[in-house]
Amino acid sequence: MSAPARRAILILLVGLAMLAATLGALYLLRPGAPRLVEQVGPQIGGPFALTDHEGRRVTQASYPGRHLLVFFGFTHCPDVCPLALGEVSVALDALGPAAAKVQPLFVTVDPERDTPAALKDFVTAFDDRIVGLTGSAEEVEAAARAYRVYFKKVPVQGALGYTMDHSAFVYLIGPGGKLEAFFTHETKGDAMAQKIRGFVGS
Ligand SMILES: [Cu+2]
């Protein structure tokens, strides 16, 4: 084979490889494709041992038969947590009676400031059905690890002293402990409710 012919074949092969890679990427990123976090779903969620906003010790087994709607955050959060809890509250209203099959949980990543009383004030301002959970630093860390939640203390100027960086997904966990769905803090409550209804029924 002549050198130009070999070069032409090489260029063709490289072109085909690039086309295959592009098609593959388009397939993985297509609308409605399961996202990475869904593919690793079974590993998200797990046992926890915490204290609820009434001071009772609770675990993942404290809400038998219910789907857990779990969000990690902190009461001094300026925007993301209030936004997320606001949408959770809208979702609960949209679910109507089916909301009884859902237990929304707000787990603090700032147990230093978020006492049960502080949590109660915060979550019930959004919805009486949301339960705030706190614990020792170790207990909170273990729960966050089970849900693959990232959080970090960040010093700030002023009276607050510090804020918390944290990932902000809302997880729907089935009664069997399996991840069913997840939402971002920007998911609208109505869309959240629609998705939840697919798992809990009406
Ligand atoms: Cu927050």
CA of 12 to the centre of ligand 1 (A): 51
CA of 134 to the centre of ligand 1 (A): 15
Nearest to 201 by CA among 42, 95, 44: 95
- Of residues 38 and 176, the one with the higher pLDDT is 176
CA of 172 to the centre of ligand 1 (A): 18
pLDDT of 22 above 90? no
pTM value? 0.79
Report the distance separating Cα 66 and Cα 174, nearest Å.
Answer: 7
pLDDT of 132 above 80? yes
Distance of CA 9 to the CA centre of its chain: 49
Report the distance separating Cα 21 and Cα 119, nearest Å.
Answer: 49
Task: Give the least confident one: 12-21, 96-105, 161-170.
Answer: 12-21
16 SS3 class: helix
CA of 74 to the centre of ligand 1 (A): 6
